[in-house]
Structures are given as C-alpha cells and as structure tokens.
Amino acid sequence: MAARLVATLVMVALAAAVLPGNNTVTSLLPSSWVARFFFNDFLLAPLTVVRILNDVCVASSGRVGTCMSKNECVRKRGTGTGTCARGFGVCCVIVATENGVAYGNNTLIYKDKFNSAVDLTYTVLRMNDDICQYRLDVKRLHLSPAETDGSCKDWMKISQDTKFNKVCGFTRHVHYYIDVSSRSTVFTFHTEASKDYQRDWEIYVQQLTCDATGTAGPEALLTNP
C-alpha cells in the first residue's frame, strides 16, 4: 500500500510540473537504459523535463523565429518549421497580418513585391511591461525614392518613438532602435500606384527588456549591422 501511494505521489508531482500554459516539455526516456523503479506491480520510467528557452532561431524556410513549444507556437498563431532545444521545440515564425495584431518576439512584418496603392498597418503588442525598446532588423524596405524636395510619396511610419519620422526609398540590412512605452505599436505603410517601381518589405521586430545589453542609448536611432 505504501509503495502504491509513493508511486501515485511521484506521478502527481511530475504532472504538476508540466501544466498547460508554460513552455515545458516532458518525454519518457527509453527504459532500456534508464533506472527502473518497481512499486509492487508498477514499472515507472523516469521523465525528462526540458525547459525551452525562447532563443532566436533560424527556421527551415530561412526566416528568423523564436524557439518555443509547438503548442505555444500554435497559440501565438505562428508557423513552426525546423526544430530547436534538442528537438523538443520548434522554430516558430510569427508573421504580422496586414491590418492585424501580432504578439510575440521577432515578429515578422512582410509583404511581397507589388506596385499598387496601399494603406496598411501592422500592430505589434509589447510582451510585458519590462520591454523598453524594439530593435527593427530591416532586411529590406523597398519604397519609391524621395522627391527632390525631400518629401515621400511612399513611406513607413511608426507610432511610438518621436525620434522616428517617415522613411522612404531603399533600405537594406540596417537596424533601427525605437523606444516603447505603451502596449501597442502601429507600423503604417503608404504607397501610391506606380508601374515603374516594385515595393516590398521584410522587417523583424525584436523586443528588448530595459536591462538588456543590446539596448541602444536614448538618442540612438539607426545603426549598421
């Protein structure tokens, strides 16, 4: 009786460690090489508990993502391609939808080549109150060039940081740092119709905590890779 009670308590403790909502994964180890525990008629194989760190990863598609469990990726409406965390996690790529809202680190703002007139917004939510800056990894931002007077027919604008004005023209492989304080940040894109110029963009939004070593100073805006 005592042995059966101990076995039950062990199972309950292990189950409590993997409640839904966190990023912990468990798996049974092969009984051929793990220690075996006999409790009367019970045979229990120890469990491996893996805590998945939300590190940056590269998905099979070549896009940048965040390592997390498959269930968490689904909850955040991401796409998991490729594995991480010794195969227990997936590299989850979260793509912000046009005129939609995205929640997650390394959110991708993306649009393939087009030449029509559009007005689009992408809203990125701050993950928690400890986020002070966003780092924008601009892989490419192709908009029509600025006019001779410096004005922009096509432009990108960000709602949060007052240092950040409209951006137009051709931008590639640069980093922008913006300060954030409110929960949502709106990225707005405006283009005018043109048959002569193809527009497209691919921008990753990385959220930085207030004490992160990668944050920029209060006056910083643009840096090279």
Residue 61 has pLDDT above 60, yes or no: yes
Q: Which domains does the chain have, with CATH numbers?
A: 1-51 (no CATH), 95-223 (2.60.120.290)
What's the pLDDT score for residue 86? 84
91: Cβ–Cβ under 8 A, 6 or more apart, which residues?
A: 57, 58, 59, 60, 65, 66, 67, 80, 81, 82, 83, 84
- The amino acid at 149: D
Distance CA 107, CA 94 (A): 5
Summarised one tens digit per residue, pLDDT across range 83-104 is 888 888 999 999 999 999 998 8
Summarised one tens digit per residue, pLDDT across range 110-126 is 999 999 999 999 999 99
Please return the burial class of 73, using the count of CB atoms within 10 Å of its CB with bins 0-12, 13-18 and 19+.
Answer: buried
Distance CA 132, CA 118 (A): 30
Summarised one tens digit per residue, pLDDT across range 3-17 is 444 444 444 444 444
Of residues 22 and 139, more confidence is placed in 139
Of residues 129 and 31, more confidence is placed in 129
CB 168 within 8 A of CB 155: yes
Mean pLDDT of 57-85: 89
- Among the listed ranges 28-42, 89-103, 118-132, 175-189, which one has the minimum average pLDDT value? 28-42
Whose CA is closest to 53, among 22, 98, 78? 22
Q: Which residue has the tokens 């004490």?
A: 211
Band (pLDDT 50/70/90 cuts) for residue 219 is very low
Distance CA 51, CA 67 (A): 11
Residue 135 has pLDDT above 50, yes or no: yes
